[in-house]
Amino acid sequence: METIGGDAHVHRYGWAGLWSAVASLIFLWSMVQQYVPAQLEDYLTTLARRLHTAMSPYVTISIDEHIPDSFSRSEAYVSTEAYLSATCASSARRLRADHAPGSDRLRVAVDDHEEVVDQFRGAKLWWRKTKMLPRSNIISWSAREEARRMYCLTFHYRHRGLVDALYLPHVLAEGRAAIVRNRQRRLFTNNPSSLWSGYYGRTWSHVKLEYPSTYATLGMDPGKKQAIIDDLDMFRDGKDYYASVGKAWKRGYLLFGPPGTGKSTMIAAMANYLDYDIYDLELTAVKNNTELRRIFIETTGKSIIVVEDIDCSIDLTGKRKTREKKDKGSKKKKTTLPTPAGGREDEDSKVTLSGLLNFIDGLWSTCGGERIIVFTTNHKEKLDPALIRRGRMDSHIEMSYACFESFKVLAKNYLHIADHELFHEIRQLLGEVDMSPADVAENLMPKSKNRDVDACLRKLIKALKQAKEEALAKALVGTDDKEETQGDDDSNSSEEEGNEKK
């Protein structure tokens, strides 16, 4: 018993001495490391890894957070993070919690320098998340941004074929599925370049997308609405088809029509139907074409990139202004000069038409997939034909004034009725008067909790009759002005003929 006790005593104190020596070595290395040249440190690190590889039967695969020489995060890294959060986070001792966008709960993920274990078809696999800081004794924002994060997967070499063929595709597929399950639709806006430093280099800021518009509530002709839905379905399920015909997996929509006809509502309905994010691109906040390309790269798949009122953002009409130039000893000669971007001489914005075309349909448009680009305008005729041709804006959707079919949708939404004795009169008036769906909806909006259907419909009829009278009065004024102008022209012609005779 004494011998056993003595051996245990020696054994215990032997381990204590070993751990003390290891701790001392670690402390000394931390003191000496800052004086070791970087080349020598890299050499020692490489040598240690080679010795470990030669002696260890395990294989390690690393997945970096960022793709080398790229602005975007690695899809493999994002999918791995989602997979581990869904399957292995419960076994981790150190977790990192942050607020999931648009959610009322915290999202839990594996923290830096934490290890979790996964099982797959009898194979045991270890995942470790690491963070490598740059060689700098000064902590700054730039140093933090350059920190390198990665997930390291370690397994026995005999499972190499299983990992390559089955496990890694499984992680990617399950991670993507977890992202889709947990995703909350977001509305992004691009930050002005002058404020990027204040946003720590973030190009986009976002809020939760809470626009409730759907195609069921959209006041539009049902046949036209169904054609748009079918087109969106074909795009969403057309990844292989787009690849087979050699086209980037994207589609452009031009929404044009008078104000109040539901262009923004249509975009929200698209996002809700496809479960896509919306990137609201403000072109006036973009400095130049290079910045525009970076902004595009920072967008993700399953998204709708929107430029509202494209004709008002910057000068993209393709027209040229004329400037009179007087030559010596000759008449005035008109010389055409390109209009600066934005139509201003101060060149506040240097985004050009060619830069925007490359953004939509050039080489940079192929960076990523499953993106929809939407332009809206009240004046289609003002846009350069090169900007809205097929292949860039593939589908032109006219958002027109309310018809009787769109009125019936709005009446069902606002008044919960499918038919009424006043519908016949409203149908006749809608055929004679142009009124936007927004104006129709406002007149159908109940003003009390009682929801007096008759009062709402009569209010709409009154508004339609008033709009009809205003349109007739405007037409009469226009006719009178035209006749007066024609009379003046006839008088001037007679006077000129008399002068010629004289």
Beta pairing partners, 37 = none
Tokens in use for 413? Answer: 């939404």
Q: Which of 42-46, 225-229, 317-321, 355-359 has the lowest mean pLDDT?
A: 317-321
Q: Could you give the CA distance from residue 463 to residue 457 in angstroms, rounded to a whole number? A: 10
Q: Judging by DSSP bridges, how do beta strands 123-132 and 148-156 pair with one another? A: antiparallel
Q: Return all residues near 156 (Cβ < 8 A) that are at least 6 apart.
A: 57, 58, 59, 123, 124
Closest CA to 402 of 264, 257, 254: 257
The reply to whether the predicted model has a pTM over 0.75 is no
pLDDT at 320: 39
Q: Could you give the CA distance from residue 98 to residue 469 in angstroms, rounded to a whole number? A: 59
Q: How far is CA 260 from each of CA 129, 286, 311, 357, 380, rounded to the nearest angstrom?
A: 51, 27, 17, 28, 15
Q: Which CATH superfamily is domain 187-309+349-398 in?
A: P-loop containing nucleotide triphosphate hydrolases (3.40.50.300)
183 pLDDT above the threshold of 80: no
Distance of CA 300 to the CA centre of its chain: 6
Contact in structure between 251 and 373 (CB atoms under 8 Å): yes
Phi (first) and psi of residue 484, to 5 degrees? -65, -40
- The amino acid sitting at 97 is A
pLDDT in tens, 18-34: 566 666 766 666 666 66
Closest CA to 130 of 158, 147, 144, 151: 151
Beta pairing partners, 62 = 152
45 or 217: which carries more pLDDT confidence?
A: 217
Tokens in use for 259? Answer: 């104000």
Q: Is residue 170 packed enough to be buried (19+ CB in 10 Å), middle (13-18) or exposed (0-12)?
A: middle
Contact in structure between 296 and 359 (CB atoms under 8 Å): yes
pLDDT in tens, 391-432: 889 999 999 999 999 999 999 999 999 999 999 999 999 999
Reported as a pLDDT band with limits 50, 70 and 90, residue 86 is: confident
pLDDT in tens, 333-375: 433 333 433 444 344 457 888 888 888 887 777 777 889 999 9
SS (H, E, C) 279-340: EECCHHHCCCHHHHHHHHHCCCCCEEEEECCHHHHCCCCCCCEEEEEECCCCCEEEEEECCC
Q: Identify the DSSP state of 165.
A: I
104 or 342: which carries more pLDDT confidence?
A: 104
Closest CA to 335 of 327, 324, 319: 324
Q: Could you give the CA distance from residue 439 to residue 463 in angstroms, rounded to a whole number? A: 9
Mean pLDDT calculated for residue range 76-85: 87
**What is the overall mean pLDDT for the chain?**
78
17 pLDDT above the threshold of 50: yes
Q: Identify the DSSP state of 164.
A: I
Q: What is the DSSP string of 359-425?
A: HHHSGGGGSSSSEEEEEEES-GGGS-HHHHSTTTS-EEEE-----HHHHHHHHHHHH--S--TTHHH
Q: Could you give the CA distance from residue 285 to residue 350 in angstroms, rounded to a whole number? A: 10
330 pLDDT above the threshold of 60: no
pLDDT in tens, 246-263: 888 999 999 999 999 999
pLDDT at 404: 94
Phi (first) and psi of residue 59, to 5 degrees? -115, 140
Helix (H) / strand (E) containing 176: helix 168-182
Tokens in use for 266? Answer: 């249509």
324 pLDDT above the threshold of 70: no
Sketch the domain layout of the chain as residue ranges: 23-52, 57-135+144-184, 187-309+349-398, 404-484
Closest CA to 206 of 236, 232, 183, 177: 183
